[in-house]
Each structure stands twice: as structure tokens, then as C-alpha cells.
Structure 1
């Protein structure tokens, strides 16, 4: 999905380990025009910019509003699309034409540049899912464009079920390759159930709540909230405190120590690089390729701010 904000803030991000469980509340963001999809954006924010290499998290729906995101560019990242309901048609400049369906991962690698479009199908009555971005480390951010589709099996756990789409959790390992150590999984907890998961203490983790009543280590969450767990923890305590199933995503990874600049749909390393990416997209340069089969114009890039993109200091985590 594109970041359709008309005045996207620049973000220079570098996270450092914290302690305990911290709740990151989402902000409401309208994407698009009059029939905008409204999303709950949990990452990035001033309290924390990344969880591992996960640098962007939008949670949307359930909504009857159709998705129609015209071709737009990406650099320096991977997009991980995960649906809870509905169906979305994906096209990209690699030549991929694929469907995004519930419980199935679509992972697109931009490398130095890719373009893609996303359109919900006419049969979709309710659209509900997440769009996640993963920052590529410097040594791999100019890698070739790529695309992976994976439908992880459902694994039954005591009072819960899990689908592991990246990394390893609860005895399952995804075959999808990653450029940094990562974890991505969907869990559903039965009403009143409690679950303790063994986790990698080298990772930091984020638990993103979707539906139901959920507490992480006794800390309650609301829809779209993320519970951040710092490196050093070897177990993750989850509890469904309600009478309906609770669904969540667990995202994790080793702390991403490289400084990155995020603006619009680009991940770069400095102001000048972001300017060059924008100019290349506006000039329809070959860096991003062409998306075939989308019946409309591509998205223009918004105007850059009138100041040089500079690091944004995080008052609680000491971003530099």
C-alpha cells in the first residue's frame, strides 16, 4: 500500500533498546480522496520508529470502502501484505500479478526501486488487514526486485492457533527469506485463554492487536495498539480477557541499528537520496519500471517540505 498522506513527515529513525512493556497507540490517518480508507498507523511514531526492521504498520478495517491504490514507487524496503478479510489484486513492475487473500503473505522487495498497485476485488464486501514495511539493511537495499507468496499452515496451540509467515515461532518456521533476523506471525486466542510463548531474547517484539480483548504481560491493549517488548525477554505472555476470540500479530527482530530516512514511500539514508528518488519517479525513470494492467494514471509524488530533511530526535528513545 502507498502512503497517501499529502504532507508526509520526514523520519530519520534509529531505535535503541528500552525496558519492559510499552503501549504504542495508533493514530488515525485518512488515505486517499473523498472515499478515503482510514487506517490506524502504529509505526512509525515519535515514541518508537522501528521494531526490529519493521518500520511501518498500518491497520485498516473492517471497512466496506474499496481499496484502489494507483501505481506508486518504493525504495529500500519490503512490503508485507496480510489480510484478515477481503481480497486485493496486486500488480508490480516486476511483472507480478497476484491476489492477496486472508492468511496468505505477499512480500514484495523493492530493492533500488519498484512500483506496484493494489485494488480490492468487486467481490470484497469487507476489507480488513495490515500493511507492513520492512527496512532493508544498507548492504541489501539495492538488491534486485523480488516477490514471494506464502500461505503458512495453521498450527494449533493450547487455547490458540498461529500462522507464522516470517521467521520462527512455536515450532514453525517460514521458508520466506529475510535480509535481517525477523519474526511475523498471526495468533488467535480463544475466549479466556492464556498463552506463554518462548521468544528470542535477542529480538525486540511488537504485539499488534486486531480484534478482541487482549493483554500482554497484564497490560491491556485496544484495537490498533502495539505492545512493545524490549530485547532480553525470553517469553511473551498473552491473555484473552474477553468472551470473543482475540486476534493479534507478533512482529519482531534484532534491533535495526542503521539510521534511515523515511519520506512518502521511500526509505533512504539522507535528504539528497530522497530528493533523487522523488525526481526519478516524477520523470518516469526506469529505476521503478512500469506497472502493466492498471486502468488509470500512476500516483504523483507529493511536494517535498521547504526545509532539508534532517534527523528527528525521539525524546524518549534518543533517536539520532
Structure 2
């Protein structure tokens, strides 16, 4: 998915301490962002924000839907570039057609992971299919560490097997949880899983104490420890915990996305769809995209590529997490 804001903020984030458990869950609320077009499907963006820019190497989280495609027109994102990151597409309902400059033509479907590596540069398009009535899901980005940020383009598809839990189930699409491990390759240790919690049930899951974690609630009210998280809120937990306890406080099944990873120990600059290390990295990536270099082309999409927004008139400067 593209960041289609016409004036995207620059973000620089860096290492921070994360070795002791926080006293409370940090609750992050999203801001709404229109995803282009006159009717504009709206997404809820939880990462990045001023309060927090990373959870592990996870650096971007858009949550959208349930979206009535008949009312909004659904998703139609023209070819656009990415550098220095991996995109993670995960749907709850609907279907999206994906095309990229590797020549990949694939479909994003509920419960199936599509992971694309941008590295030095890739471009892709995303369009909801004609049969889609309701579009609902998340789009996530992972920052690549410096030694791999120019990695070759890649695309992986994986369908996780549901893991039954006492009071719910898990779909583990990245990393390891509840005795299940995803085979999908990443450049830093990561956790990504969809969790369903039965009405009134409590789940206790063993987690890696070296990871910080974020729980993005999709449906229902979930109590994370002693903190209730409502739909579209993200609860952050610092490193140092061995267990995660979730309780569904409502009468319907609740659902959430669990993200995790060790604190990302590098500074990055993120602007539009590019991740680099310096202002000059971003300038070069934008110029290469505008002049048709580096990113390749997408075939099969009916329309022109997205132009890059104008860069700000100042250097892209560091922005870190609040302490």
C-alpha cells in the first residue's frame, strides 16, 4: 500500500532503551488518512506517530474497513515505489489484486500473507477485485536493517494453518507463537499473528522477553493485562515480559493483530514510500522514481504510476520517540 498523503511527514527514528517491562500498557490511537480518489477509502494509521515510531522493526501500520466498496470504490492504488522495507498485506475480508515489477501477479485473500521486499527499489499496484463487496484488513511495513536495505526484490506468499487455543485461535504469519513457526524469511526477528478470542475468554500466550510487542485491535474490546483496548487502538508493551494475557470483555468474538520484535537499533528516515538513512537517500529515490530508474515497471495495470509528492523545503530532520 502507498502512503498517498500529498504532504507526507518526514520521520527519523532511532534506538531507544527497551529492556524492562513498562508499568502499564501504552495505548496508541490512530489518525484517519484518506486513501486517494474523490470518494476516498479511509484508513486508520497507528504507526508512525509522535508517541512511537517503531515496534521492533515494524514501522508503519494502516488498518482499514470494513469498507463498503459500493460506496467508496474500494482500493485502486496505481504503481508506486518502495525502498528499504518489506510490505506485509493481511486481509480479514475481500480480495486485492497485486502486481509488481518482479513480474508477480498475485491476490491478497483473507488469512493469507503476501510479503514483498522493496530493498533497493520495487514498485507495485494494488486494486480490489470486482467481486469484492467489503474490504477489511491491515497493511504493515517492516524497516530493513542497514546491511540489507539494498536487498534484491522479492515476493513471498504463505497460508498459515490455524492454531487452536484454549479460548480462541492464532494464525501465525511471521515468527513463532503458540508452538507454530512461519517459514517466511525476514531480515530481523519478527512476530506477526492474527488472534481471535472467544466471548468472555482469556488467552495467556508465552512471548519472547527480548521482543517489544504491539496489539492492534480489529474487532471487540480486548483487555490487555489491566488495560482495555477498543477497535483501532494499539497497545504497546516494552521488552521483558514472558507472557501476554488477553481477555475478550464483550459478547462477540474479538480479533487483533499481534506484532513483535527486538527494538530496532538503527536510525532511519521515512518519507512517502521510501526508507533511507539520510536526506540524500530520499532525494535520490524520489528522483529515480520520477525519472524512471531503479524501480522497474508494473505490467497489467490500467493507468499511470503515482507521481511522487514534492519534497519539503527543508532537510529531513530527526524525529524520535517521546521518552
With normalisation by structure 1, the TM-score equals 0.97
Q: Distance in 1 between matches of 2:89 and 2:319?
A: 28
C-alpha displacement at 1:31, in angstroms? 1.5
Q: Distance in 2 between matches of 1:105 and 1:17?
A: 31
RMSD across aligned C-alpha pairs, in angstroms?
A: 0.8
Q: Secondary structure at the match of 1:248?
A: strand
Relative to structure 2, which stretch is displaced further, 10-19 or 151-160? Answer: 10-19
- Measured against aligned partners, the alpha-carbon deviations of 1:67-92 in whole angstroms (never above 9, x if no partner) come to 00000000000000000000000000
1:310 paired with 2:317, answer: yes
Query: Which of 12, 23, 26 is 1:22 aligned to?
Result: 26
Contact 1:108–1:148 (CA<8 Å) still a contact in 2?
yes
Relative to structure 2, which stretch is displaced further, 73-82 or 304-313? Answer: 304-313
Q: Secondary structure at the match of 1:60?
A: strand
Moved over 3 A (4+): none
Query: Which of 25, 32, 38 is 2:42 aligned to?
Result: 38
Query: Which of 111, 131, 134 is 1:126 aligned to?
Result: 134
* Count of paired positions: 315
The aligned runs of 1:186-265 (5 Å cut-off) are 186-265=194-273
C-alpha displacement at 1:213, in angstroms? 1.4
Query: Which of 106, 121, 136 is 1:113 aligned to?
Result: 121
Contact 2:14–2:320 (CA<8 Å) still a contact in 1?
no
1:137 paired with 2:145, answer: yes
With normalisation by structure 2, the TM-score equals 0.96
Query: Which of 287, 291, 301 is 2:308 aligned to?
Result: 301
In the other structure, the counterpart of 2:173 is 165
- Measured against aligned partners, the alpha-carbon deviations of 1:128-175 in whole angstroms (never above 9, x if no partner) come to 000000000001111110000000001100010000000000000000
C-alpha displacement at 1:33, in angstroms? 2.5
Q: Distance in 2 between matches of 1:37 and 1:259?
A: 32
Contact 2:115–2:157 (CA<8 Å) still a contact in 1?
yes
C-alpha displacement at 1:15, in angstroms? 4.5
Q: Secondary structure at the match of 1:275?
A: helix
Contact 1:15–1:48 (CA<8 Å) still a contact in 2?
no
Query: Which of 123, 138, 149 is 2:157 aligned to?
Result: 149
1:10 paired with 2:10, answer: yes
Q: Distance in 2 between matches of 1:169 and 1:200?
A: 9
Q: Distance in 1 between matches of 2:39 and 2:286?
A: 26
Q: Distance in 1 between matches of 2:276 and 2:231?
A: 31
Q: Distance in 2 between matches of 1:30 and 1:221?
A: 24
1:93 paired with 2:101, answer: yes
In the other structure, the counterpart of 1:183 is 191
Structure 1 unaligned segments of length 5 or more: list them. Answer: none
Q: Distance in 1 between matches of 2:107 and 2:13?
A: 32
Q: Distance in 2 between matches of 1:33 and 1:177?
A: 34
C-alpha displacement at 1:16, in angstroms? 1.8
Q: Secondary structure at the match of 1:281?
A: helix
